[in-house]
């Protein structure tokens, strides 16, 4: 479909690319080819992404029954751990997903092109020599010489330089390997490994915490063991799928990784600093405030990450579409994942309003902590649609390789949110923290709407 064809719907509605996001709302849950592709990637990813927060929630529940002081201490530790791990790994994961998806799409395009060339050769031979029995031999010979060996058979390992480069930089960390699988649009393998690892974590928690009487240290040991198990399983599977030794060092494109990875590093520091600062300000208000904040934050993140599955699906599909210059599919994908994400956020809000009336007692029996959790619950529930859109816009930007905008816009959002956190926490205490975090997520969503809605950067084709 030509570009002028897809521009017609929004040109008649005010000449704004923003309206493309509301295109095809009747088909939001249509089980067509695009819908199936999104769900096949999104569902396993969502389950995998929520597995870790759910495991952390179970850790929180176990530790919460030890005492509010221990629960508050774990909250600070988890905040620091999340800051360090995201800064070290998340930029590489996002860059890897996009680059692997782009290379995989480009290689598949070259193979399709080679196949069409083979058919033309076979036809020419038939016309000139009129030897029909020669065609199969020509096709077989040409295909053998033109198609790379890594793509001739499904049981032969693929050569994807971006996968090798990611593992070289990441030193075989589990999240980097998840980025490789996401780039291949294989989200079931990481899900299996994460579920096995988190189940091991859940089984080991009570053993180390209560039976061996190791307390908080036992929870930490159980978590470390589960992470090593996940890494080993992913590495074993990846070795079977990909030739990790690239043809040459130049194919690794380390410079490209470092350039875009550094941009996302800036973004991740800005993102995690806001959440870490909020945890720090909660801790300064006392152990009761920190314990309540920890429970609310874990629920907030666990439910919000369901939308991150759609973000990963959007990123992988968009990266392939942009690599093939298929702007029609890029537009349809962005529109579909945002619409599904909004519905998901509304459903989560409704569910949490009901469930969270009873859930807090699973984490603590302290009356003061429960009272503060009750204050935070409305914010956790109401912000779900905003959170869903913010996460999905991240995936859309990464899929379009719009890493510079993602970084710079997030720095601006972070600076504004930091000011809100200090002012509102000092004036309104615990509730002020959640008002500031709600503003923070709203600003993240707005920057995503602004980029696509004005047709800037990689989305300028919407204005052509």
Question: For residue range 286-326, what is the model confidence (pLDDT) as tens digits?
Answer: 888 988 898 888 788 777 777 888 999 999 999 999 999 99
Higher pLDDT, 373 or 106: 373
Higher pLDDT, 433 or 238: 433
The confidence score (pLDDT) of residue 409 equals 95
| Residue extents of the structural domains in the chain | 3-463
List Cβ neighbours of 10 (8 Å cut-off, separation of 6 or more). 16, 17, 18, 19, 20, 23, 462
Distance of CA 287 to the CA centre of its chain: 32
Q: Phi/psi of residue 276, each to 5°? A: -65, -40
Q: How far apart are CA 241 and CA 156, in angstroms?
A: 8
The confidence score (pLDDT) of residue 299 equals 83
Q: Does the pLDDT at position 382 exceed 80?
A: yes
Q: Are 46 and 302 in contact (CB under 8 A)?
A: no
Q: Are 448 and 410 in contact (CB under 8 A)?
A: no
2-6, 75-79, 419-423: which has the minimum mean pLDDT? 2-6
Q: How far apart are CA 190 and CA 176, in angstroms?
A: 11
The confidence score (pLDDT) of residue 11 equals 46
153-162, 188-197, 234-243: which has the minimum mean pLDDT? 153-162
When the pLDDT of each residue in the chain is averaged and rounded to a whole number, the result is: 78
Tokens read off for 359: 């859930």
Handedness of CA 164, 170, 172, 178 (dihedral sign): negative
Higher pLDDT, 43 or 173: 43
Q: Are 82 and 56 in contact (CB under 8 A)?
A: no
pLDDT band at 3 (very low <50, low <70, confident <90, very high): very low
Q: Does the pLDDT at position 134 exceed 50?
A: no
Q: Does the pLDDT at position 392 exceed 80?
A: yes
The confidence score (pLDDT) of residue 147 equals 37
Q: Phi/psi of residue 158, each to 5°? A: -85, 150
Q: Does the pLDDT at position 56 exceed 80?
A: no
Rg (CA), the chain: 25
The confidence score (pLDDT) of residue 222 equals 86
Higher pLDDT, 426 or 135: 426
The confidence score (pLDDT) of residue 353 equals 87
The owner of tokens 């009487």 is 213
pLDDT band at 129 (very low <50, low <70, confident <90, very high): very low
pLDDT band at 9 (very low <50, low <70, confident <90, very high): very low
pLDDT band at 6 (very low <50, low <70, confident <90, very high): very low
Q: Phi/psi of residue 242, each to 5°? A: -125, 140
Q: Does the pLDDT at position 327 exceed 70?
A: yes
pTM of the model: 0.74
Q: Are 58 and 205 in contact (CB under 8 A)?
A: yes
141-150, 344-353, 443-452: which has the minimum mean pLDDT? 141-150
pLDDT band at 241 (very low <50, low <70, confident <90, very high): confident
Q: How far is CA 210 from CA 62, 115, 215, 294, in A?
A: 9, 63, 7, 22
174-178, 250-254, 294-298, 305-309: which has the minimum mean pLDDT? 250-254
- The whole-number average pLDDT for the span 206-232 is 85
Give tens-digit pLDDT for 332-375: 999 999 999 999 999 999 998 888 877 777 777 788 888 888 88
* 227-231, 363-367, 408-412: which is most confident: 408-412
Any idea how long the chain is? 464
Burial class (CB within 10 angstroms; exposed 0-12, middle 13-18, buried 19+) of 409: buried
29-43, 194-208, 351-365, 448-462: which has the minimum mean pLDDT? 351-365
The confidence score (pLDDT) of residue 119 equals 44
The owner of tokens 């890029």 is 330
Q: How far apart are CA 195 and CA 46, in angstroms?
A: 12
Three-state SS annotation for the chain: CCHHHHHHHHHCCCCCHHHHHHCCHHHCCCCCHHHHHHHHHHHHHHHHHHHHHHHHHHHHHHHHCCCHHHHHHHHHHHHHHHHHHHHHHHHHHHHHHHHHHHHHHHHHHHHHHHHHHHHHHHHHHHHHHCCHHHHHHHHHHHHHHHCCHHHHCCCCCECCHHHHHHHHHHCCCHHHHHHHHHHCCCCHHHHHHHHHHHHHHHHHHHHHHHHCCCHHHHHHHHHHHHHHHHHHHHHHHHHHHECCCCCCHHHHCHHHHHHHHHHHHHHHHHHHHHHHHHHHHHHHCCHHHHHHHHHHHHHHHHHHHHHHHHHHHHHHHHHHHHHCCCHHHHHHHHHHHHHHHHHHHHHHHHHHHHHCCCHHHHCCCCHHHHHHHHHHHHHHHHCHHHHHHHHHHHHHHHHCCCHHHHHHHHHHHHHHHHHHHHHHHHHHHHHHHHHHHHHHHHHHHHHHHHHHHCCCHHHHHHHC
């Amino acid at each position: 479909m030509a570009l002028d064809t897809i521009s017609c719907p929004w040109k008649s509605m005010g000449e704004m690319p923003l309206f493309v996001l509301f295109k095809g709302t009747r088909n939001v849950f249509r089980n067509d080819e695009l819908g199936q592709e999104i769900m096949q990637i999104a569902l396993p990813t969502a389950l995998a992404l929520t597995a870790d927060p759910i495991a952390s929630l179970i850790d929180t529940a176990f530790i919460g029954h030890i005492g509010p002081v221990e629960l508050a201490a774990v909250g600070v530790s988890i905040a620091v751990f999340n800051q360090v791990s995201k800064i070290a790994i998340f930029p590489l994961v996002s860059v890897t997903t996009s680059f692997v998806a782009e290379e995989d799409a480009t290689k598949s395009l070259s193979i399709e092109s080679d196949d069409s060339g083979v058919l033309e050769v076979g036809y020419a031979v038939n016309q000139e020599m009129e030897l029909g029995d020669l065609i199969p031999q020509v096709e077989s010979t040409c295909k053998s010489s033109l198609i790379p060996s890594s793509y001739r058979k499904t049981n032969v390992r693929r050569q994807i330089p971006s996968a090798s480069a990611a593992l070289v930089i990441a030193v075989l960390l589990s999240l980097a390997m998840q980025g490789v699988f996401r780039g291949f649009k294989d989200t079931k393998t990481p899900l299996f490994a994460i579920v096995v690892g988190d189940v091991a974590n859940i089984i080991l928690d009570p053993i180390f915490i209560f039976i061996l009487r190791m307390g908080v240290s036992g929870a930490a040991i159980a978590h470390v063991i589960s992470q090593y198990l996940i890494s080993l399983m992913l590495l074993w599977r990846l070795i079977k799928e990909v030739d990790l030794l690239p043809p040459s060092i130049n194919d690794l494109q380390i410079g490209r990784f470092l350039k875009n990875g550094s941009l996302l590093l800036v973004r991740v520091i800005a993102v995690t600093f806001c959440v870490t600062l909020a945890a720090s300000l909660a801790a300064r208000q006392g152990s009761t405030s920190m314990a309540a904040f920890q429970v609310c934050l874990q629920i907030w993140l666990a439910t919000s990450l369901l939308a991150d599955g759609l973000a990963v699906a959007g990123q992988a599909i968009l990266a392939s579409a942009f690599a093939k210059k298929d702007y029609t599919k890029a537009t349809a994908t962005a529109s579909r994942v945002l619409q599904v994400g909004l519905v998901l956020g509304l459903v989560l809000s409704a569910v949490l309003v009901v469930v969270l009336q009873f859930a807090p007692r699973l984490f603590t029996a302290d009356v003061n902590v429960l009272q503060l959790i009750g204050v935070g619950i409305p914010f956790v529930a109401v912000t779900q649609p905003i959170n869903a859109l913010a996460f999905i816009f991240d995936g859309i930007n990464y899929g379009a390789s719009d890493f510079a905008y993602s970084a710079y816009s997030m720095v601006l959002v972070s600076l504004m949110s930091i000011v809100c956190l200090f002012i509102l926490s000092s004036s309104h205490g615990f509730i002020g923290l959640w008002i500031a975090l709600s503003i923070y997520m709203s600003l993240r969503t707005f920057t995503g709407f602004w980029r696509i809605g004005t047709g800037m950067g990689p989305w300028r084709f919407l204005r052509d």
